[in-house]
Amino acid sequence: MIPMVDLKRQYHNLKKEIDAAVSDVLEQTRFILGPNVSALEEEIAAYHDLPYAVGVANGTDALLLALRACGIEAGDEVITTPFTFIATAEVIALLKATPVFVDICPDTYNLDCSQIAEKITAKTKAIIPVHLFGQPADMNPLMEMARKHNLKVIEDCAQAFGAKYNGRKVGTIGDAGCFSFFPSKNLAGYGDGGMVITKSKEIAEQIKILRNHGSAKRYYHQEIGYNSRLDEIQAAIIRVKFRQIDKFNEARRQNAAAYCAAISNQGIILPVVADGCDHVYHQFTIRTTNRDLLADALQKKDIASAVYYPVPLHQQEVFLKSGHNPVQLPQSERCAQEVISLPMFPELNREEIRLIADVINHVS
């Protein structure tokens, strides 16, 4: 069996360090907002050359708290992509704001920035680009549009830790960058976890208040907040993995290159890397009109595959029944019918890639 992600291999490679880190937390008995959370915040801020990083409970909360810290409220509109995990738009709706969906570029699966301007209204207050599958969104035209219309930009970096756009790490370009440490992510814990990075002291301080029940001082509350604190044990585990993140991402790039060299089926559209971008391949996603046939062929050989995402957000029942005007976003709709992701993790070996490619090459 070749799984989508083999977390056990990575754990065994890092077992001594991870076990020691967890044991140290248990010995110290400081479990909430302890020294590992503070250290991880400092390390990730330094990695991104930014002054502030704030750990939160998960990637969804990172987006939610960043939106609130940027002043998004009921009645506002936030432009984003329909081709992503629901959390990106869900947090907008949770604040009683309206997600406004813009179609994607079919080669990168990211927001088509040329279509943003026509969706901007007097109610538009922010844009959430998603660096999907580890590929940075095209941030220069997006930021130009945001500056022109005085919009906040919150980068969804859940799948792209360490990716670069024109030499700048994702998450450092907009007003805030939001990360998930879900177990399958490039940088991950063994449970939920998230973080927001920013150059803004005001945004960072507001997120610190919001994550801790709206309180900057114990038992004194100036906001209605959340219980959204990064767990100390998860922070300890993530710190161990963080020391290897560039090595892990390079292994993913090498695996992607091996896939591209080995897959010769002319019916397959391989991933591309946009000019000026460093892709980190959270997923290795291909396209084919024979997706079901390919998935069946892989399954017969005990090779996992997955579809991210089969239903774009503008077609999800939850948004259709909540009064959103039906829209047609043809690139998102087509990609949703054709994409399929193959196993991708740093420890994937060349023989496994060869076996996967051999199955793909014989599907017609």
Nearest partner of 31 among 202, 194, 232, judged by Cα: 232
**Is residue 2 one of the residues assigned to a domain?**
no
Q: How many residues are present in the chain?
A: 364
CATH number at residue 287: 3.90.1150.10
Same domain, 229 and 346: no
Same domain, 61 and 162: yes
Backbone conformation region of residue 171, classed left if phi is above 0, alpha if psi is from -120 to 50, else beta: left
Same domain, 197 and 288: no
Same domain, 172 and 273: no
149 or 324, higher pLDDT = 149
Same domain, 104 and 180: yes
294 touches 340 (CB < 8 A): yes
pLDDT cut 90: percent of the chain above it: 98
Same domain, 194 and 256: no
Same domain, 303 and 172: no
Same domain, 216 and 273: no
DSSP state, residue 169: E
* 326 pLDDT tier (thresholds 50, 70, 90): confident
> What is the pLDDT at residue 174?
98
- For the stretch 278-318, pLDDT in tens is 999 999 999 999 999 999 999 999 999 999 999 999 999 99
**Is residue 317 one of the residues assigned to a domain?**
yes
> Count of domains in the chain?
2
- For the stretch 185-205, pLDDT in tens is 999 999 999 999 999 999 999
Alpha helices for the chain (secondary structure H): 7-28, 35-47, 59-69, 87-94, 139-149, 201-211, 232-242, 245-262, 291-300, 317-320, 330-338, 350-361
**Is residue 1 one of the residues assigned to a domain?**
no
Final residue of a structural domain among 192, 224, 242: 242
Q: What is the reported pTM?
A: 0.97
DSSP state, residue 135: P
* Domain membership of residue 343 as a residue range: 245-361
Whether the per-residue pLDDT at 322 is higher than 80: the answer is no
**Is residue 71 one of the residues assigned to a domain?**
yes
Residue 133, helix vs strand vs coil: helix
Whether the per-residue pLDDT at 324 is higher than 90: the answer is no
> What is the C-alpha to C-alpha distance for residues 363 and 288, in angstroms, rounded to an integer?
10
- For the stretch 78-95, pLDDT in tens is 999 999 999 999 999 999
**Is residue 327 one of the residues assigned to a domain?**
yes
What integer best gives the mean pLDDT of the chain? 97
Buried b (16+ CB within 10 A) or exposed e, 333-356: bebbebbbbbbbbbbbeeebbebb
Same domain, 280 and 196: no
Q: What is the CA 50 to chain-centroid distance, rounded?
A: 19
3-state SS, one letter per residue, for 246-303: HHHHHHHHHHHHHHHHHCCCCCCECCCCCCCEECCCCCEEEECCCHHHHHHHHHHCCE
Same domain, 97 and 223: yes
Same domain, 232 and 300: no
- For the stretch 104-143, pLDDT in tens is 999 999 999 999 999 999 999 999 999 999 999 999 999 9
Final residue of a structural domain among 215, 242, 269: 242
Token representation of residue 300: 């017969």
CATH number at residue 225: 3.40.640.10
Same domain, 266 and 220: no
**Is residue 53 one of the residues assigned to a domain?**
yes
The structure tokens 């906001």 sit at: 223
Final residue of a structural domain among 214, 242, 270: 242
